[in-house]
Structure 1
Amino acid sequence: MVTLDGKPVSADDLLPLALTNVGHFTSMRVDADGNIRGLALHMERLVRDSKIVWGTSLDTGRVREYVRHGLEGQTRPCVVRVTIYDPKVEMGHPADADEPHIMVSVRGAGALPPEPLRAMSVTYERDLPEVKHVGLFGALHARRTAQLAGYGDALFVGRDGLVSEGGTWNVGFVDQDGNVVWPLAPVLPGVTVALLQQHAEHRVATVTLDQAKGMAAAFATNTSIGVRPLSAIDDTELPIEDPVLSQLQETYLSIPGETV
């Protein structure tokens, strides 16, 4: 079931979102116990992005109410997505849209962690990378390109030659000294990244594609996959059995969830 402000969504409600693709969202994994890791951080993201995209505040109490309603009767674990958009937005006058609404949708979730991922490097930079917005054409086109070439997803490399992030995930590395390294680049501030940074030593540094391929290990992170090893970047194979990777996976799973 998909709801808009707690009520079943209609085709007319969805049409403006489909035609204009203006809005922002967050996705949250709901574990079997009904709790969500990083729930407060997800709410902070929605508030922050609402100010950037719409210039308005957001009542997170209402968001949580609609999420609870959307989760009623759903099998868990699952992934709940909260999308913030204005059904009256028009392509010719997007500035007139200033009353964003709250859409909630739910889908199934896979086991943690998923199988290792093979990534192909693609030159791409997301628009407004600090916002988790619904403008996914470029990212999905890069993903499709990678999949048609036999890979699972795309790893973005900027025009400056620096690695940034993945199709819908952040990327991290383990260097040859066993240190966790996050790329210094314009990227989405990931909730899973923030949680791991709170519980594990790390550093942030620029990472070229050649440096990425020379790391001891690499991994993808987001709320749906947790910590997922990368088994290859382009034609360079990477180890998927690494003690730091195992520790990161255990650390993530040990972080307690929050009640909606």
Structure 2
Amino acid sequence: MAKLNEQPATAADLLPLALTSYGHFTSMRVDADRRIRGLALHMERLVRDSTIVFGTAVDTGRVRDLVASALDGREGPCVVRVTHFDPTVDMGHPDKATEPQIMVTVRSAGELPPPPLAALSVQYERDLPQVKHCGLFGALHARRAAQLKGFDDALFFGPGNYVSEGGTWNVGFIDEAGTVVWPDGPVLPGVTAALLQERTEYKIAPITLDEAKAMPVAFATNTSIGVRALSAIDSTPMAIEHPVLVNLRETYLSVPGEEL
């Protein structure tokens, strides 16, 4: 059930979001003990993105309370999505959307790590990539195109054939020397990627699509999947096991969850 503030969301509440997609969100994996890795970073994201999208602040204490309430009666790991949008927004006057509200939804979480995924390279760059916004049409259209060709998801590349990110995940690579390399470019600053970068050695560099396919290992990261190996980029197979990949997974799982 979706809850807008403390009440079940109605169709009328959700219609403006459905018609405009004007809002932003963050998704958080909640472990069985109701602790969340990177909770503070998720709250920082909501504050930062609300300033960009609405020019307003977010009461993160209230967000925590609403998430805790939504988790009452839930067992096992799950994924909570906090969506911030103004139910009065209309396409003619988005400048009037200045009183965003908080919607919380909960779904079950899968096991970590999930199976490797095969990615199809698709030329695409998200609008306002630094914001985790609700405008998902382009990313989902790319994912659909990939799945129709037998792949699991899309890996985006932009001008100059430089890779950036995946459909709903950051991408990283492990080079021949065993160094973790994150692409330099306009991407969403992911919480899982940030947690790994705080705890491991890495470098950031521009990576073309050809260079990406020449890497021994590629992996995806986000809060729902943790660290997930890529089994292929287009027709190029990638190794799905590597000591550095194991270390990244163990490092992520060792990050202590934060209490709501």
TM-score higher than 0.5 here? yes
**Could you give the per-residue CA deviations for residues 45-104 of structure 1, whole angstroms, max 9, x where no partner exists?**
000000000000111011001000111111220000000000000011110110000000
CA contact (8 A) 1:124 1:159 kept: no
**Match of residue 22 from structure 2:** 22
Q: 1:7: Cα distance to partner? A: 1.1
Give the 3-state SS of the residue equivalent to 2:259 in structure 1: coil
Instruction: Confirm or deny that 1:11 pairs with 2:11.
Output: yes
**Match of residue 100 from structure 1:** 100
Instruction: Confirm or deny that 1:169 pairs with 2:166.
Output: no
**Match of residue 144 from structure 2:** 144
CA contact (8 A) 1:126 1:139 kept: yes
AA matched with 2:54: W
**1:215-254 superposed matches below 5 A:** 215-254=215-254
**Match of residue 54 from structure 1:** 54
Report the TM-score, using the length of structure 2 for normalisation: 0.99
**Cα distance in 2 for residues equivalent to 1:61 and 1:156:** 35
**Match of residue 89 from structure 1:** 89
AA matched with 2:245: L
**Cα distance in 1 for residues equivalent to 2:15 and 2:127:** 23
* Large movers: runs of 4+ above 4 Å: none
**Match of residue 187 from structure 1:** 187
**Cα distance in 2 for residues equivalent to 1:22 and 1:160:** 30
**Could you give the per-residue CA deviations for residues 207-240 of structure 1, whole angstroms, max 9, x where no partner exists?**
0001000111000000000000000000000001
Give the 3-state SS of the residue equivalent to 2:161 in structure 1: coil
Give the 3-state SS of the residue equivalent to 1:98 in structure 2: coil
AA matched with 2:79: V
Give the 3-state SS of the residue equivalent to 2:27 in structure 1: strand
Give the 3-state SS of the residue equivalent to 1:173 in structure 2: strand
AA matched with 2:178: G
Instruction: Confirm or deny that 1:33 pairs with 2:33.
Output: yes
**Cα distance in 1 for residues equivalent to 2:167 and 2:108:** 20
Q: 1:160: Cα distance to partner? A: 2.3
AA matched with 1:69: S
**Match of residue 153 from structure 2:** 153
Give the 3-state SS of the residue equivalent to 2:248 in structure 1: helix
**Cα distance in 2 for residues equivalent to 1:241 and 1:15:** 45
Identical amino acids, percent of aligned pairs: 68
**Cα distance in 1 for residues equivalent to 2:76 and 2:19:** 32
Q: 1:161: Cα distance to partner? A: 1.0
Give the 3-state SS of the residue equivalent to 2:102 in structure 1: strand
**Match of residue 42 from structure 1:** 42
**Match of residue 71 from structure 1:** 71
Q: 1:198: Cα distance to partner? A: 0.6
**Cα distance in 2 for residues equivalent to 1:144 and 1:159:** 22
**Cα distance in 2 for residues equivalent to 1:29 and 1:85:** 21
Q: 1:241: Cα distance to partner? A: 1.1
AA matched with 2:184: L
**Match of residue 120 from structure 2:** 120
Give the 3-state SS of the residue equivalent to 1:186 in structure 2: coil
CA contact (8 A) 1:117 1:230 kept: yes
Question: How well do the aligned residues superpose, as a CA RMSD in angstroms?
Answer: 0.5
Gaps of 5+ in 1: none
**Cα distance in 1 for residues equivalent to 2:252 and 2:229:** 14
Give the 3-state SS of the residue equivalent to 2:83 in structure 1: strand
Give the 3-state SS of the residue equivalent to 1:144 in structure 2: helix
